[in-house]
Amino acid sequence: MKSDWSVSRRAFLTNIARTGGAGAAYAVLDALGATALAIGEAHAYAGPPPMPAGIGKGKRVTIIGAGMAGLTSAYELSKAGFTCTVLEARARPGGRNWTIRGGDLIEQSDGLQKVNWPKAPHLYFNAGPARIPHHHHALLGYCREFNVPLEIMMNDNRAALYQDDAVFGGKPVEAKQVIHDANGHFGELLNKAMSSGGLDKELSKEDRERLREVLAVFGDLKADGRYHGSERAGYTEPPGAALKFGKIRDPLPLSELLKAELWQYKIAFNQNYEQTSTIMQPIGGMDQIPKAFAKRIGHMIRYETVVDEIRKTALGAKVICHNNKGQKTSIESDFIICTMPLSVLRNVPNDLSPNYKKAIAEVRYDTPAKIAFYAPRRFWELDNDIYGGMSWTNREITQILYPSQGIGQRDGVLVGAYSFGVFPEDDMSRVSVSERLKNAIVSGEHMHPGYQRMVRDGVSVAWPNVKYSQGGWASWTAEQKNDIYRTLQEPDGAIYFAGEHLSNLPAWQEGAILSAHYAIEKIATRVRS
């Protein structure tokens, strides 16, 4: 599968660090001459598509999947008078929006896990999405509409750690050290370049003078224009009362910083459009959102109902499905909105047109996996001053995510691994759950000495192994984005498609919601004409 990728791992990681998925796609499309639609300013989101009241009267829509795209479709269409039926293979709404708590069962193709954690409001694990960026207007709009209370999720925690086996003797350093020592070195280098005349052609004398002043602030440089360390990078002896004046850390050497693989994307991760402050989370777990939808449209959802076939009919289309008692049904309707991940849909017998089948078959899904542990003591807060945010490592676990909820409580649930699975070698699902957990503890020990005794009752969700998901998110190549991605934006007869995979916000709930809005708007236009 790697051979599909014309870029090296390193170049790719650098690229996603730079631009994220959406930006990367945009850059390519822009180069190809595609014109972005005029959709106004970032703040101009005006809500779901307007649907004249009663427009859907007498029209039936079958929605496959009660994830965010399916829930959105059913909620909006039913408000407009459509009769909606949502078929959901699982026993819960949300799809990949999945919050796991003590007592839950995690069923995967590689076995069944029982979650042995105590129950408390702050003890949960968002196995899927865990963040709501401040500019995800559609998702935030539903949170407002449904009164889902939100709280701030700390994402960019400068007290969290970077650990890279190749540098600093493999010892973790604080994010504040890496970031501010780098800024200091960069500022000093720019000053030196100016002193040697290396920027005379680039900058006017006035701008060079101003730049020196700005660099003093940017890099916390001394009067000599050089970097001698900064309180921003932290103290070895913190300032206190009386004569405890504090002693700042020695700066990390530039040549060592440059060697760290973590630079290759982790350092800038929190700066990306989708990751930068402010990030929020629903109080009590991400599944508060699908639960709020289900409170309103739950009666339309048939849970534990598995789709066996999708067929075109004279009226529109039909779905053949069976429920958990093995009862088969055929449901015919005017329209279908299929929100299944393409990784699942490609194995469902259907009579979609060949170009649709091709599109559905070809897109690759990333293979992310997460691990969560219960910790009876919040050692990251007590021992490391880490309150929320992520520590990064070049090891397989990629990151440790600390809870933004339950601060100051005795215990907590922390995410002990989140491998994005962009490359086959990142795919933690290749090994058994127990091996995965063992590896995560070994890696965690490099970040937090004593980790193996401080965490317990690990569970792992590897998305390729999760039935009815079979992957994390669609990972379109730039070429596909100009070809088969576009195919699926249009209905095949009465069959429409929606989901994160049909958006430029891959993996994000906002993408799924906006994609649903796009599909229902097309249906509304069709019934009106």
Binding to a copy of itself (CB under 8 A): which residues in 52-111? none
Distance CA 258, CA 264 (A): 10
292 sits near a copy of itself (criterion: CB under 8 A): no
Query: Are residues 329 and 320 in contact, defined by beta-carbon separation less than 8 angstroms?
Result: yes
Q: Which of 57, 114, 119, 144 binds a copy of itself (CB under 8 A)?
A: 144
- C-alpha neighbours within 13 Å on the C-beta side of residue 264: 14
As measured in angstroms, the least distance from the Cβ of 35 to a copy of itself is 9
241 sits near a copy of itself (criterion: CB under 8 A): yes
Piece in contact with a copy of itself (CB under 8 A), picked from 302-310, 449-457, 461-469, 499-507: 499-507
243 sits near a copy of itself (criterion: CB under 8 A): yes
40 sits near a copy of itself (criterion: CB under 8 A): yes
Q: Which of 177, 470, 475, 503 binds a copy of itself (CB under 8 A)?
A: 503
From residue 182 to residue 221, what is the string marking binding to a copy of itself with x (rule CB under 8 A)?
x---xx-xx-xx--xxxx-xxxx--x--xx-xx-xxx-xx
The burial of 112, by beta-carbon neighbours within 10 Å (0-12 exposed, 13-18 middle, 19 or more buried), is given as exposed
Query: Are residues 291 and 93 in contact, defined by beta-carbon separation less than 8 angstroms?
Result: yes
- C-alpha neighbours within 13 Å on the C-beta side of residue 466: 26
Q: Which residue, 156 or 351, has its beta carbon nearer to a copy of itself?
A: 156
Q: Which of 226, 232, 296, 302 binds a copy of itself (CB under 8 A)?
A: 232
450 sits near a copy of itself (criterion: CB under 8 A): no
408 sits near a copy of itself (criterion: CB under 8 A): yes
Listed residue (269, 263, 260) closest to 155, CA to CA: 269
Cβ atoms within 10 Å, residue 273:
12
14: its two tokens: 């650098």
Q: How many residues bind a copy of itself (CB under 8 A)?
A: 121
CA 374 remoteness from chain centre = 22
Q: What is the sign of the dihedral through the CA atoms of 448, 450, 455 and 458?
A: positive
134 sits near a copy of itself (criterion: CB under 8 A): yes
As measured in angstroms, the least distance from the Cβ of 82 to a copy of itself is 19
As measured in angstroms, the least distance from the Cβ of 12 to a copy of itself is 12
Query: Are residues 360 and 495 in contact, defined by beta-carbon separation less than 8 angstroms?
Result: no
Piece in contact with a copy of itself (CB under 8 A), picked from 51-59, 226-234, 336-344, 428-436: 226-234
Q: Which of 52, 114, 116, 151 binds a copy of itself (CB under 8 A)?
A: 151
Q: Which residue, 288 or 419, has its beta carbon nearer to a copy of itself?
A: 288
Q: Is 63 helix (H, G, I), strand (E, B) or coil?
A: strand
3-class secondary structure per residue, 302-348: ECCCEEEEEEECCCCEEEEEECCCCCEEEEEECEEEECCCHHHHCCC
Write out the binding residues for a copy of itself, residues 378-397 only, by CB under 8 A: 383-389
Q: Which of 12, 102, 120, 150 binds a copy of itself (CB under 8 A)?
A: 150
Q: Which residue, 142 or 373, has its beta carbon nearer to a copy of itself?
A: 142
511: its two tokens: 């993408």
Distance CA 339, CA 95 (A): 10
33 sits near a copy of itself (criterion: CB under 8 A): no
277 sits near a copy of itself (criterion: CB under 8 A): yes
As measured in angstroms, the least distance from the Cβ of 191 to a copy of itself is 10
